[in-house]
Amino acid sequence: MKKFLLLFLFLIPFVSMAQQWKKTRKEILFGAGAANLLGDLGGADQIGTHLMKDLEISLTRPMAAVGYRYKLSPTMAIKGYGGWARLTGNDLLTAEPSRNNRNISFRTNIITASAQFEYSIIEEKVKSRYSRRGKKFPLNVYFFGGFGFFYFNPEGKYYDGKWYKLKPLNTEGQGLAGSEGTDYSLFQFCVPLGIGFKFPINREWSIGLEYSITKTFTDYIDDVSTTYYDNDAIRAAYGDVAAYFADPSTTPTRDATIPGGTNPGEKRGETTYNDSFMFAWLHVSYKITGSSKSRVKF
């Protein structure tokens, strides 16, 4: 009996330490960082690249986000996430002849929200509030994935300096006979995937870094996807502004000898892959530890 009692007394501190994560399982986080679009515009100086190979660093723009994390176990958590970002694209930033001649550019604000699941490959260690030991906390490393939705609304800059919403202009002949363009929705589903790092400052506060690539189910974040439609027909149906954004190429003549010709039916975008966007952000997180009235005092 004494052996069991001694074993019980010996294990009490370890059991208490093992349950510390439950006292800090709720956490809010907020921060800011950088965003970039992997779409049809600009990109590498060659055709046929995709994802990171097609990244244009100079088009990196700001983003900001907030989140709420709830731990299910020491290694698993769920997180609610909301973010804002600016995404842009510009064909004149690539030296690839057909893309450069296409000369399309755009911008959009994007608002996204998602539910994410996290799994820590290096578990976060939670220090007891009453521990007198000055142990350093190790780095927490986790992978995450989830599902959500986002809103976007691409705009193009007219030669008079004014910005126009592109979707109502039907730049790929949407609504006209024989058009391959899609009347896309500005609300879309998405799947974020990424990796995160977190380093505690103290029991409540931590700093961290997350990087994610978000897969979408649309190819129209930049309003470019399929083929050119007859520009005169677009002008007749939707006006001069629509015709300009449908084909603002630097050499707008329909000359088949020019790389990246803009004849009706020729490629305006790449339909093989949908658009994706990337976020890299630094965040500060705060663990909600409950009311101080319930804390033990010494």
Domain containing 54 — which CATH number? 2.40.160.20
d(CA 156, CA 41): 12
| pLDDT at res. 15 | 44
- Neighbour count for residue 265 (Cβ, 10 Å): 12
How much of the chain exceeds pLDDT 90, in percent? Answer: 59
Within-domain flag for 14:
no
pTM here is 0.83
User: By residue range, what is the domain housing residue 108?
Assistant: 25-289
Q: Which of 107-111, 154-158, 267-271 has the lowest mean pLDDT?
A: 267-271
pLDDT at position 262 is 85
pLDDT surpasses 90 at 124: no
- Tell me the pLDDT band of 270, cut-offs 50, 70 and 90: confident
Domains in the chain, number:
1
pLDDT score for 22: 80
User: What percentage of residues in the chain have a pLDDT greater than 70?
Assistant: 79
Residues whose CB falls within 8 Å of the CB of residue 125, separated by 6 or more in sequence, listed in order: 135, 137, 138
Residue 6 placed within a domain = no
Query: Residue 23: pLDDT above 90?
Result: no
Query: Mean pLDDT over all residues of the chain?
Result: 84
Burial of 283 (0-12, 13-18, 19+ CB in 10 A): buried
Residue of 51, 62, 46, 56 whose CA lies nearest to 90:
56
From CA 42, how far away is CA 59, in angstroms rounded?
9
Tens-place pLDDT, residues 173-219? 999 999 999 999 999 999 999 999 999 988 889 999 999 999 999 99
Asked whether residue 134 is assigned to any structural domain, the reply reads: yes
Does position 125 have pLDDT exceeding 50, yes or no? yes
Q: Name the one residue in this structure whose structure tokens are 């097609």.
A: 54
The per-residue pLDDT for range 150-174, each reduced to its tens digit, is 999 999 999 888 999 999 999 999 9
Instruction: Tell me what pLDDT residue 110 has.
Output: 97
**If you count them, how many residues does the chain have?**
298
